[in-house]
Chains A and B, each alone.
Chain A
Amino acid sequence: MVQRTQGRLSQGGNAWGIKTVSSPMDVPKPTCFQELILTLQQYWAGQGCVVLQPYDMEMGAGTFHVATTLRALGPSPWRACYVQPSRRPKDGRYGENPNRLQHYYQFQVILKPSPNDILDRYFGSLRAIGIDPDLHDLRLVEDDWESPTLGAWGLGWEVWCDGMEVTQFTYFQQVGGIEVELVSGEITYGLERLAMYLFDKKSVYELPFNRPGSEVPLTYGDVFLRNEREQSAYNFERADTEILFRHFADAEKECQSLLGNADNRLALPAYDQCIKASHAFNMLDARGVISVTERQAYIARVRALAKACCEAWLEGRT
């Protein structure tokens, strides 16, 4: 059985002539958080992805990175993977909840257009990080994705490994309110959760960040626990809401002005402002100062910015 399944993956002759890096023999199984990242990067680099670095701005999910949002539009093929630190101010638990963080890592893969064998490639990545499909129950469970702030939606699944959600898989259909020309397959691994599963840890803070046998072994808690405590206090208690409202308004204004000059729209700087507005909104939401009715209005304002940026991006394509 083992040989058969491996055989299928490694003969994985695909239309692009790329050798699949999938056999557990090739790459040693990751033993810590950072090796998980390195393994995924190496695997997806082998699938022809450009390995990007995180976008240097606060954002709620890897989808906001220009390498996903903007690149998903237009007729150009694209393949990228990257880690994106994701901030969800509302999810902060002062470091007291073993499963919830206001700052965590997503590993994002985007393949455009989605290749026919994208699922086989994805299952190859699980094999690479040490999840052997012959030993586990892997399932694709319906999960449609929608981002009201990005005006984006797609269809796909949550991928379950023995009942545990290890990945979100989405075929993008619309971004910025614009129908995509080529469909991107987006694969998002929640790294902490995946690592807790791989390394059998009950708390995220116990995860080995580097190798447990390192000269200075460091856990996820060593690296991030204090950050969770302080950022939670900032998000929920200290953040100055007046300043945040101002940030939102400023970012919105700047975004609009960067797109306002029809002869010289700057899509990328404008999109940065859209990201800023979105994060300011998330902060205000965490501070509990946005009512239910206002909430919809703010989301609509961010969406309007995202949509305008996406239109400008398509316009300025050379």
Chain B
Amino acid sequence: MAKLLLELLSEEIPARMQVRAAQDLERLLGQGLAAAGLPFAGTRALAGPRRVTVIVDGLPRVRADVEEEKRGPRVGAPDNAVRGFLKGAGLDSLDQAEKRATDKGEFWFAVIRKKGGPTDAVLPQIVIDAIRALPWPKSMKWGSGTFAWVRPLHSILALFDGKPLPGQLELGGTMPPLRFGNRTRGHRFLSAGEIMVEAVAGYSRQLRTARVIVDQAERQAVIRAKVETLCAQNGVALLADDALIEEVTGLVEWPVPMMGTIDAAFMDLPPEVLTTPMRAHQRYFATVKPDGSLADRFVVVANMITKDGGTEVIAGNERVLRARLADARFFWDQDRKVRLEDRLPALKDIVFHAKLGTQHERVARIVALAGEIVAHEKSGFFKGVAAAHVEQAARLCKADLVSGMVGEFPELQGTMGRYYARHEGLPGPVADAIAEHYAPQGPNDRCPTAPVSVAVSLADKLDMLTGFWAIGEKPTGSRDPFGLRRAALGVIRVIVENGLRLPLGWAMKADASDLIPFFADRLKVQVREQGVRHDLVDAVFALGGEDDLVRLLARVQALQAFIGSEDGKNLLVAYNRAANIVRAEEKKEKALREKIAGAVDAALLQAPEEKAVAAALQAADAKAGPALAGEDFTAAMTALAELRAPLDVFFDRVTVNADDPALRLNRLKLLNRIRATIDRVADFSKIEG
């Protein structure tokens, strides 16, 4: 068995593309090997700033002969079918095919024999095909070539069974081809010249000597460990930031964390104002003191060991940060001179969407909507909330968009509004609502719970949804440029997590009638993730017309709990026995559905067993009806489950399809009533036994 090592060395690859590219190369190589009939034991993908590498283990040195059979058309089939078969199998005439008898008759068969041979004879083409098929999100040409890669590709290291694999990649134009070789390069500045790789086993070690950690997982672990040590030595702790660690792992081949100090002159700025430029612009890690407050230390992960031990690097980074924070300080001081209220006219200059007007107009809609939400909520959630607070928070919620700070750091929207509102001495709930009305931004984001925040958050999202719906900008497939799915999920979470009794129907404009089903779909996705059975969700959704999400969810949850119980099983059996026979009869007779829709004729109830069922139905309905109205779904279902016993006796002793058509119809009516009554809880026909 032999190993294949393939390393593609290029100029710096964007961090976000590296791991995906290595995995794609791994997959494409694997597919190519499989297609060529080359088995292998395993593959490994390594990714970094300048190289993607794949190692394939357990390849045979010699490829066995392969025989492949293709069945063709029946003997005596029309000419064009035969021609197609010959062409597909690469045969010249039927003389090269053989006739074989099968249990379906005599067919033509082609036996294609692929001669095996040394693996290294086919590997170069497999490698080239994989390279050419690699899908970069964005690729480019360079020099005079026509070949496209993410950035200029400099070398291809290809080693098979300890020997350089011969081969070359054509770059097109007047560029010389890139020959495969057994050489690569180390760190851009910490290593000189080329490195000759002699064995797959030595690859990582040789590159480590040349100051490159080729494995992204190892690089990440090294960063974590070194950063934590550095923090511990300085009496601070790293402010966890997995996304940033991930990105930094793609920015360095040889991680060298260094600690810098934030100029004391800036430490009075709000923590977000300090950390946002650090993270977004500089990729620095923030640190915290033991009490959890922001420390004046930051960590930069350099890609370099410098001969002065990092003095210049730290000084340079501190200087850059000082300039960034001086900008932030300027905005902070300037912004606080203007009241949020006085910023509102400037919102007229910001177009929210060409068809949906300016932010100023949008704010007017949010104000109105927030008021209506408070008025329509039925659980008393907003009891005692000052209407003036809701109105003020809604009116000011977008004012910080025209502040200098948010202009520079859009991700601070809302956060800055709260600081500025507090600075002005606005009521706490108003300030908080300005910050919180964007939440929740995703499934892991905190959901607002304060009443004023809840009202503005819902108004903000509902305005977006109804607005974009009205202009026909609905999400399609994977396209959701305005984040409407996220907004809908936000609405669901705010309503459900706060137990709001807020039917959504009133908020939907006439031209947004399909918005409720959109919500339903989002809700389905959400509850499915929580382990709710999808058939139960479907069963409740099939009732239709429900726009109260809390009630809807309560029903699904009650159903899920009930269906697992003994009563639940009884109810399902009762339902299926009744429904199956009605459905079967409906199939035979199209007009039956209408005929059995009416009430049961008590006079036609003859057998004591059917009288018992009718009585039980009446009793169950008498209990289930009020329970449903009171939203006690479990009680309703418990009552209905009592139908099983009389129904079992009924089916044992009574023939539904009686000879007397009037009796038959009445019995079907009775069963249909049972079905309809149970269907008021959920569409039980959707539940999988």
Given known A1-B307, A135-B307, contact A155–B251 (CB-CB < 8 A): no
**CB pair A183 B304 closer than 8 Å:** no
- With both chains docked as a complex, state the minimum distance between the C-beta of B488 and any C-beta of chain A, in angstroms: 27
Quick one: CB contact mask for B288-308 with A, threshold 8 Å, 1 for yes? 000000000000101110111
Q: Quick check: B152 and A116 within 8 Å, CB to CB?
A: yes
The answer to whether B327 touches A99 (Cβ under 8 A) is yes
A selection of 12 A-B contacts at a CB cut-off of 8 Å is A5-B192, A98-B326, A135-B308, A137-B313, A138-B304, A142-B16, A155-B138, A163-B284, A185-B142, A197-B316, A200-B319, A292-B354
- How far apart sit A164 and B283, CA to CA, in the bound complex (Å)? 12
- Chain A 118-155 against B: per-residue CB contact (8 Å), 1 yes, 0 no? 01000000000000011111111110100000000011
- The reply on B473 being an interface residue by CB < 8 A is no
Cβ B151 vs Cβ A155 within 8 A:
yes
- Known: A8-B192, A135-B307, A162-B320. Is A142-B313 also a contact (CB below 8 A)? no
Q: Is the CB of B351 within 8 A of A293?
A: yes
Whole-angstrom distance between the alpha carbons of A163 and B323 in the complex? Answer: 11
What residues of A have a CB within 8 angstroms of the CB of B302 in the complex? 137
Whether A161 pairs with B316 at a CB distance below 8 angstroms is yes
Given contacts A4-B192, A163-B321, contact A183 B142 (CB under 8 A): yes
Contacting residues, chain A, for B145 (C-beta < 8 A)? 183
A123 to B144: give the CA distance in the assembly, Å.
22
- Enumerate chain A residues within 8 angstroms of B12, measured Cβ to Cβ: 139-142, 157
Whether A137 contacts B320 in the complex (CB less than 8 A), given A142-B15, A171-B140, A173-B141, comes out as: no
8 Å CB interface, A85-130 against B? 97-99, 113-116, 119
- In the complex, what's the smallest C-beta–C-beta distance from A52 to chain B, in angstroms? 23
Cβ-based interface call for B317 (8 A)? yes
| Minimum-distance CB pairs A-B, first 9 | A162-B316, A142-B14, A140-B12, A137-B302, A163-B317, A163-B320, A155-B140, A4-B192, A113-B143
User: Does B11 lie at the interface of the complex (its beta carbon under 8 Å from any beta carbon of A)?
Assistant: yes
In the complex, the chain A residue whose C-beta lies closest to that of B190 is A1
Name A115's closest neighbour in chain B (CB-CB).
B143
Counted as pairs of residues, one from A and one from B, with CB atoms less than 8 Å apart, the total is 114
Within 8 A of B (CB), among A144-197: 144, 154-155, 157, 161-164, 171, 173, 180, 182-183, 185, 197
Q: Number of A residues contacting the other chain (C-beta, 8 Å)?
A: 44
B interface secondary structure, majority: loop
B residues near A113, Cβ cutoff 8 Å: 142-144
Interface residues of B in 466-494 (CB under 8 A from A): none
Report the Cα distance A200→B318, complex, angstroms. Answer: 12
Q: From B144, which residue of chain A is reached at the shortest CB distance?
A: A113
Residue B193 interfacial (CB < 8 Å): yes
Instruction: Pick the residue among B284, B312, B354 that contacts A136 (CB under 8 A).
Output: B312
A7 at the B interface (CB under 8 A): yes
Q: Tell me if B306 and A182 are in contact (CB < 8 A).
A: no
Task: Give the CA-CA distance A134 to B306 in the complex, in Å.
Answer: 5
Residues of B within 8 A of A157 (CB): 12
Interface contact A119-B316, CB-CB below 8 Å? no
How far is it, in angstroms, between the C-alpha of A144 and the C-alpha of B173 when the chains are bound? 24
A243 at the interface (CB under 8 A from B): no
- CB B20 to nearest CB in A, in angstroms, measures 14
**Is B251 a contact of A139 with CB atoms below 8 Å?**
yes
Which chain A positions have C-beta within 8 A of B315? 162
B282 at the interface (CB under 8 A from A): yes
Write the nearest CB–CB distance from A41 to chain B, whole angstroms.
25
Q: Look across to chain B and name the residue whose beta carbon is closest to the beta carbon of A154.
A: B140
Cβ A119 vs Cβ B320 within 8 A: no
B192 CB → nearest A CB, Å: 4
> Across the interface, do B192 and A141 meet the contact criterion of CB distance under 8 Å?
no
- State the Cβ distance, B209 to closest chain A Cβ, in Å: 14
The answer to whether A114 touches B138, judged by C-beta atoms less than 8 angstroms apart, is: no
Chain B residues positioned under 8 Å from A136 (CB to CB): 304, 306, 312-313, 316
Q: Is the CB of A134 within 8 A of B307?
A: yes
**Shortest CB–CB separation between residue A86 and chain B, in angstroms?**
20
CB distance from A16 to the nearest CB of B (A): 13
Q: Would you give the shortest CB distance from A205 to chain B, in whole angstroms?
A: 14
| Cβ A144 vs Cβ B138 within 8 A | yes
| Candidates B11, B139, B140, B304; contact of A119 at CB < 8 Å | B11
A163-B316, A183-B144 given. 7 additional CB < 8 A pairs? A113-B142, A137-B303, A137-B313, A139-B251, A140-B12, A157-B12, A163-B300
